[in-house]
């Protein structure tokens, strides 16, 4: 992981204002190379998971690195195509595809659609028949394995909404193989996100490989095994999965199978290569509780509020101006070394960090939230009518705006024409 320098952060914060997302495209390129190197012993395709960060300039950059796309909405499919990712490298997954989504995916002639249920299989077949097409599909298998991650991002247990059980999957493959309008070419599984232990992945592989051998024995000609993503990153002091060992485990499990591997990393590619820069508005105390109030909020980075996620924090002192506080307003307590970093939103759950060691801050200082490249901007909102922040890319020592800061006029553009009706 490369560290975006303090000088760069100060310069970019002044140039583009705050809050501000900054992404290191050189670091992203390194991560892609690591993944490709790990799986070079077999035919493989890296399909970047757009849900982590779907900025068009980022997708265009990844397209030039020969990446495909893992999409979970039809608009993500459109983004991938617009950014120049070839249709034959795009996969469309997700549990709630409606008829229009399916039609558009089939019209776009992408690599395949991952099927999440028996009813979806029948719906895709019906629509393909109406369009006189043969739909290339994969089926998402739920191996019922505990991913040992946050329950909100666990996807491989039977109580999760994703995929189908092994027996159902086998029946669905047999049905699809006998259909004129379905072509089952892939098997997919994905057990969760931010995985720090490869054991559950290997347990899932064992189950899935047994199913694959059974399907091949039935003359179902699979071409791809889509092993999903989910490899975790270091936010604090986590011990992460060794990528080479992970890849070797996958390759060993697939010994004897002539299938191309599809991997779907998202967080691993962009997570550590992005930061959110915010500016200190001021500090306040409630008795012995200290708050550092900044201009970024839960609408900019939801992970701490939603998952109780913890990010590394950097404080950058910007000026030495001392504000004199009248004696009547001075706090009676001494300086407290720990603080909550909170935003302006009208929610007690609006925080970016809780009870962390933080030196004294002044208005105008910068607070940098590390490892915010994944599930940051892509999960942002306009809550409290706040506008979304700008995004900037760093590459080869040069900065480039890749998403302008939203204005109030942008915020109301879809509503204003109907005002007063």
| DSSP string of 315-344, one letter each residue | EE------PPPPGGGS-SSPPPSEEEEE-S
Last residue of a domain, one of 265, 286, 320: 265
Find, among 87, 155, 165, 269, the residue nearest to 71 by Cα.
87
Instruction: Please calculate the CA angle 356-360-366 and round it to the nearest 5 degrees.
Output: 80
Q: Are residues 254 and 383 in the same domain?
A: no
Tell me the backbone φ, ψ of residue 368, rounded to 5 degrees.
Answer: -105, 125
Q: Is residue 130 part of a domain?
A: yes
Residues 6+ apart with CB under 8 A from 97: 74, 105, 113, 120
Q: Which residue has the higher pLDDT, 47 or 208?
A: 47
pLDDT bracket for residue 160 (50, 70, 90): low
Q: Give residue 129's pLDDT band: very low, low, confident or very high (50, 70, 90).
A: very high
The answer to whether the beta carbons of residues 222 and 186 sit under 8 Å apart is: yes
Structural domain includes residue 180 = yes
Task: Give the mean pLDDT of 249-276.
Answer: 93
How crowded is the C-beta side of 417, counted as CA atoms within 13 Å? 3
* 317 and 255, same domain (yes or no): no
Tokens 């089939």 found at? 106
Across 65-94, average pLDDT: 97
Mean pLDDT of 17-42: 95
Same domain, 310 and 331: yes
Is pLDDT above 70 for 360? yes
For residues 296 and 276, the answer to whether their CB atoms sit within 8 Å is yes
Task: State whether 249 and 292 are in the same domain.
Answer: no
Q: Is 162 contained in some domain? A: yes
Going by pLDDT thresholds of 50, 70 and 90, the confidence category of residue 322 is: low
| Global pTM exceeds 0.85 | yes
Same domain, 317 and 227: no
Residue 327's pLDDT is 62
Q: Given 265, 286, 312, which residue is the final one in a domain?
A: 265
pLDDT at 287: 84
Whole-number Å distance between alpha carbons of 162 and 170: 16
Q: What is the CATH number of the domain that holds 323?
A: 2.40.37.10
**Average model confidence (pLDDT) across the chain:** 90
**Mean per-residue pLDDT for 68-80?**
98
Give the residue-averaged pLDDT of 258-272: 94
240 and 297 assigned to the same domain: no
As a whole-number percent, the residues of the chain with pLDDT over 90 amount to 72
Q: Would you say 185 and 88 are in contact if contact means Cβ atoms under 8 Å apart?
A: no
Instruction: Read off the pLDDT band of 111 (50, 70, 90).
Output: very high
234 and 101 share a domain? yes
Tell me what pLDDT residue 153 has: 45
Contact (CB, 8 A) for 239 and 231: no
Identify the active-site residue in 134, 346, 389, 403: 346
- Residue 109 belongs to a domain: yes
Is residue 122 one of the residues assigned to a domain? yes
State yes or no: is 47 an active-site residue.
no
Determine how many CB atoms are found less than 10 A away from the CB of residue 356. Answer: 17
**Residues of the domain holding 338:** 272-406
């Amino acid at each position: 992981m490369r560290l975006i320098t303090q000088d760069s952060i100060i310069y970019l914060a002044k140039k583009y204002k705050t809050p501000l997302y900054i992404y290191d495209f050189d670091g992203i390129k390194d991560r892609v190379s690591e993944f490709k190197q790990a799986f070079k012993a077999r035919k493989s395709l890296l399909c970047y998971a757009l849900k982590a960060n779907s900025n068009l300039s980022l997708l265009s950059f990844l397209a030039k690195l020969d990446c495909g796309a893992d999409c979970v909405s039809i608009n993500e499919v459109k983004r991938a195509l617009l950014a120049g990712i070839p249709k034959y490298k795009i996969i469309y997954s997700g549990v709630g595809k409606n008829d229009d989504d399916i039609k558009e995916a089939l019209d776009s002639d992408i690599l395949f659609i991952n099927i999440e249920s028996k009813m979806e299989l029948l719906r895709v077949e019906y629509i393909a028949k109406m369009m006189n097409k043969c739909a290339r599909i994969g089926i998402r298998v739920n191996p019922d394995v505990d991913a040992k991650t946050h329950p909100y991002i666990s996807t491989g247990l039977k109580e999760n909404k994703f995929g189908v059980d092994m027996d159902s999957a086998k029946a669905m493959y047999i049905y699809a193989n006998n259909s004129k309008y379905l072509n089952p070419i892939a098997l997919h599984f994905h057990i969760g996100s931010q995985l720090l232990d490869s054991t559950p992945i290997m347990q899932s592989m064992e189950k899935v490989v047994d199913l694959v051998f059974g399907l091949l024995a039935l003359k179902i000609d699979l071409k791809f095994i889509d092993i999903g993503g989910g490899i975790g990153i270091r936010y604090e002091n986590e011990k992460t999965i060794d990528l080479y060992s992970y890849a070797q485990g996958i390759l060993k499990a697939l010994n004897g199978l002539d299938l191309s591997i599809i991997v779907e990393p998202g967080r691993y590619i962009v997570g550590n290569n992005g930061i959110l820069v915010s500016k200190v508005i001021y500090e306040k105390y409630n008795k012995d509780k200290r708050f550092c109030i900044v201009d970024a909020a839960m609408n900019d980075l939801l992970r701490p509020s939603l998952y109780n996620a913890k990010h590394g924090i950097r404080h950058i002192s910007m000026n030495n101006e001392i504000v004199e506080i009248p004696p009547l307003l001075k706090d009676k307590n001494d300086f407290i070394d720990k603080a909550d970093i909170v935003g302006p939103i009208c929610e007690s759950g609006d925080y970016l960090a809780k009870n962390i060691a933080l030196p004294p801050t002044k208005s105008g200082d910068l607070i940098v939230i590390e490892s915010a490249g994944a599930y940051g901007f892509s999960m942002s909102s306009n809550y409290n009518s706040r506008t979304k922040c700008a995004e900037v890319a760093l590459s080869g020592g040069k900065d480039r705006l890749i998403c302008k800061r939203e204005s109030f006029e942008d915020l109301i553009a879809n509503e204003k024409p109907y005002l007063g009706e």
